[in-house]
Amino acid sequence: MSIDQNKTIVRRYLEEAVSQGNISAMERYVSPDIVFTSPYTPQPIHGIEGFKQMIGMLHTAFPDLKIHEEDALCEGNTVATRWFATGTHRGDFMGHKPSGRQFKISGQSIYRIKDGKIVEGWVNDDSLGMLQQLGIIPIPS
């Protein structure tokens, strides 16, 4: 696939599956055998069902979750994105009751594309900043 096609796959995945929480759209962009590493899972996720559960958990905790892509770079079958995420804590998140607080964090993701689908993904974001903004971890004085 071309660089533009690979970037489009990632962009649509971020818009439809992550920002809109459209779990059924995920199968258009994500391989059934995906391996995904994220700050929100203790071990990498293996397979689309676990991946769907993670996205579902995030949308239960943050129904208005949005990913705002700021930049995307592609080399061969690898797409790197720089983004920021916003949301409001309206449901349980990692054992913490809803605070009603909003967050805005920055992050980066790297995706490997094969046969038109994401087969591997790595996310790195400001999880500490999010937990502080939600009041889960105190901000040092």
CA distance readout (Å), 14 to 55, 74, 111, 117: 11, 15, 11, 13
The total of structural domains in the chain comes to 1
Q: What is the pLDDT of residue 81?
A: 97
Tell me if residue 54 falls in helix, strand or coil: helix
CA gap 119, 54 in Å, rounded: 16
Residues 57-104 have pLDDT tens digits of 999 999 999 999 999 999 999 999 999 999 999 999 989 999 999 999
Q: How confident is the model at residue 40 (pLDDT cuts 50, 70, 90)?
A: confident
Q: Does residue 15 lie within any of the structural domains?
A: yes
Q: What is the pLDDT of residue 8?
A: 96
**Cβ 62 vs Cβ 88: under 8 Å:** yes
Q: What is the CATH number of the domain that holds 121?
A: 3.10.450.50
**Cβ 131 vs Cβ 137: under 8 Å:** yes
- 102 lies in which domain range? 3-133
Q: Does residue 114 lie within any of the structural domains?
A: yes
Q: What is the pLDDT of residue 1?
A: 81
Q: Does residue 67 lie within any of the structural domains?
A: yes
Q: Does residue 139 lie within any of the structural domains?
A: no
Both structure tokens of 131: 């937990």
Both structure tokens of 43: 């071990």
Please report the beta strands in the chain, taking only residues with DSSP state E, as ranges in sequence order.
30-37, 45-46, 66-75, 78-88, 102-114, 117-125
Both structure tokens of 128: 């500490």
Residues 2-35 have pLDDT tens digits of 999 999 999 999 999 999 989 899 999 999 999 9
CA gap 67, 88 in Å, rounded: 13
Torsion (CA) 63, 34, 78, 24 in degrees, nearest 10: -40
